Structure 1
Amino acid sequence: MSDGNDPDDVRPDDASVDIDEDRSQATTDPSIQDVRSDSRHPRLARSATVIVMALAGLMMTTAAINSRGHDLRPERDTDMATLVRSQASHNAALQKEAAGLRAQVEDFSKANQTPGVTSSVISSASALAPSVGLGAVSGKALRVTLDDAPLSENPDGVDANMLVVHQQDIQMVVNTLWSGGAEAMTIQGQRVISTTAVKCVGNTVVLHGVAYAPPYVIEAIGDLNAMQKALDTSEAVRIYKEYVSAYQLGWSVERAGQVTMPAYTGAVAVSHATPR
């Protein structure tokens, strides 16, 4: 970037020195001519320095103009959407690998059962699996759908964030359904477990490492009347509905009939801090 000084204004230190009238007269003294000849070298050096500085400033200014504020290193890809898609693909591959390893563990367990002990443990684990999300489950479900406001809905002076579904809106519905007695739940078809976290990345929501765009569909198996009552009496839901009325955010609740929810197949290991 330029420092604000015009290179044409930069002058050598001796540019303002007064010219003596005697200098205008030629001299025939050789010794004086030699001294004058030698004195030109420092001036030439200073002039060369000024020229180099001016050229350096010109090059920096040209680079700034050409870049127009863009990164001069195009090989650095900082596009968030690309990073999310790449990570989602990687996570899907890991989940597939984890499912295969889990199947191998089950096969080894069945092949090495100790009568009366191993079978009892496996039976207990199998009974608990559906309730914690590790086993498939079927039943009648309530379906809640959230969506962004239509693109045509763009009121003047309204923050664009008011027109989209946020992660806290999805979490609000999930928590309300749990409080209404939901026994199993999915978001976008993915099973929800105790460690499930919903995260916003740009205009998408990331769930278990996979990015989803709206509309967002939440299904819950359980007592349909109890879950509906929980939604109807929730203060958080009431506030969301105010935005539905004001800005046309999407909101619908329906009985989905009989559905089958898949088991969660991702990692379930939990790490935590320990005192030293």
Structure 2
Amino acid sequence: MSTGSEREPERPVSTPPSGQRVWQTDMLTDLFQDPLDGGYTDAARARRERGPLASSTRRTRRGFTVVVCVVIGVLLAVAYLQVIARAPARATTRVELIKDINRRTADTDKLDQRAESLQDEVNGLRERELSDTAISQLRELEAATGVRKVTGDGVVVTLSDGPNASSERLARILDLDLQLVTNALWAAGAEAISVNGRRLTSVTPIRTAGSAILIGNAHIIGPYEVAAIGPSDLADDFNDSATADTYRKLRDDKRLELGFDVDEKDDLELPAAVMPRLQFAHVPQPSPSPSGTPTPSTSPSGGGK
């Protein structure tokens, strides 16, 4: 057995016809005796011959690093100064926008009150010209369609965002939530419904515009109060609905904790809705044929009036 300093004897691999023996190095023995690739040895030899890295090169690299750090620092300082300089302008703009929103909201409320006053005046003038029977029928129709103020006993359902609404979307009240609650109240027998004082009619949409909830064209904010007037068992029927059960579970969910409360109320007063703009369909008139005979209309029979 050979030691680490001794080399294994070479072994003959073939005997040529001339009688001489040809010897070949054992590959495994050579691998264990010289495990380092020759390229590493050549690189080390070249480094010894070239000597250590020149001090001028080191200074150049160090100087380049310093320049890069200085440039980055200057850029960060300029960006910070620009942010600080623009902060007062942004704050001023925000304050002005808030003032403008409040001013326009106040103007809208005044216009709503003016429209309600004019509507009451129109109702009074109209009833002056009608008989008692016609007035009674008219009032019932207006109350049912939402264009007349109504009072009565009912229920108020209050919805509000959960404490994690800023980070958890499911903890926010959306237009869909108000739609589900109002539909459940209609199904439970509600005769009139308002959301945050905005009366619902058959043509009043509950929708989202950006992050705001709109009732018709009016922007509302939470907490959201859905008031409904109806029969004496309205609250019980609503509480037994699947919608109420769902929102009770969302209220009890520790991750969401949506606000949900149902209260029975006496003598609720729901305002009249602004008179909606009604749309009417018209039957198209038959167009004359070249011979002068009117061509029958192609619209189906029983069209709109």
Alignment TM-score, normalising by the size of structure 2: 0.52
Partner residue in 2 for 1:252: 261
- The 3-state SS of whatever aligns with 1:239 is helix
What code does the residue aligned with 1:96 have? Q
CA shift, 1:108, in A, is: 4.1
What code does the residue aligned with 1:98 have? A
Partner residue in 2 for 1:139: 152
Match for residue 186 of structure 1 among 188, 194, 213: 194
Q: Do 1:189 and 1:261's aligned partners in 2 also have CA atoms closer than 8 Å?
A: no
CA shift, 1:165, in A, is: 1.0
CA shift, 1:204, in A, is: 4.7
Q: Distance in 1 between matches of 2:273 and 2:237?
A: 31
Q: Do 1:149 and 1:164's aligned partners in 2 also have CA atoms closer than 8 Å?
A: yes
Q: Distance in 2 between matches of 1:92 and 1:214?
A: 18
What code does the residue aligned with 1:137 have? V
Match for residue 248 of structure 2 among 241, 247, 251: 241
CA shift, 1:170, in A, is: 1.2
- The 3-state SS of whatever aligns with 2:173 is coil
What code does the residue aligned with 1:178 have? W
CA shift, 1:143, in A, is: 1.8
- The 3-state SS of whatever aligns with 2:204 is coil
Q: Distance in 2 between matches of 1:202 and 1:80?
A: 17
**What residue ranges of structure 1 are gaps of 5+ in the alignment?**
1-61
What code does the residue aligned with 1:223 have? P
What code does the residue aligned with 1:97 have? R
Q: Distance in 2 between matches of 1:104 and 1:202?
A: 37
Is it true that 1:217 corresponds to 2:225 in the alignment?
yes
CA shift, 1:261, in A, is: 1.7
**Structure 1 residues 149, 67: closer, same or farther in 2, change over 3 A?**
closer
Q: Distance in 2 between matches of 1:226 and 1:80?
A: 43
What code does the residue aligned with 2:187 have? S
Q: Do 2:154 and 2:234's aligned partners in 1 also have CA atoms closer than 8 Å?
A: no
Alignment TM-score, normalising by the size of structure 1: 0.57
Is it true that 1:105 corresponds to 2:108 in the alignment?
no
Range with bigger deviation, 246-255 or 221-230: 221-230
Identity of aligned residues (%): 21
Q: Distance in 1 between matches of 2:223 and 2:229?
A: 20
Partner residue in 2 for 1:270: 278
- The 3-state SS of whatever aligns with 2:271 is coil
Range with bigger deviation, 167-176 or 126-135: 126-135
Partner residue in 2 for 1:88: 105
Q: Do 2:160 and 2:260's aligned partners in 1 also have CA atoms closer than 8 Å?
A: yes
**What residue ranges of structure 2 are gaps of 5+ in the alignment?**
1-77, 285-305
Is it true that 1:232 corresponds to 2:237 in the alignment?
no
Partner residue in 2 for 1:197: 205
Match for residue 170 of structure 1 among 164, 170, 178: 178
CA shift, 1:181, in A, is: 0.5
Range with bigger deviation, 169-178 or 201-210: 201-210
Q: Do 2:158 and 2:262's aligned partners in 1 also have CA atoms closer than 8 Å?
A: yes
Q: Do 1:85 and 1:211's aligned partners in 2 also have CA atoms closer than 8 Å?
A: no
What code does the residue aligned with 2:262 have? V
CA shift, 1:99, in A, is: 2.6
CA shift, 1:81, in A, is: 6.8
What code does the residue aligned with 1:197 have? P
What code does the residue aligned with 2:126 have? S
Q: How many residues are paired up?
A: 204
Alignment RMSD: 4.2
Q: Do 1:88 and 1:209's aligned partners in 2 also have CA atoms closer than 8 Å?
A: no
- The 3-state SS of whatever aligns with 1:240 is helix
Q: Distance in 2 between matches of 1:253 and 1:90?
A: 33
Q: Do 1:91 and 1:209's aligned partners in 2 also have CA atoms closer than 8 Å?
A: no
CA shift, 1:230, in A, is: 3.6
- The 3-state SS of whatever aligns with 1:138 is strand
Bigger radius of gyration: 2
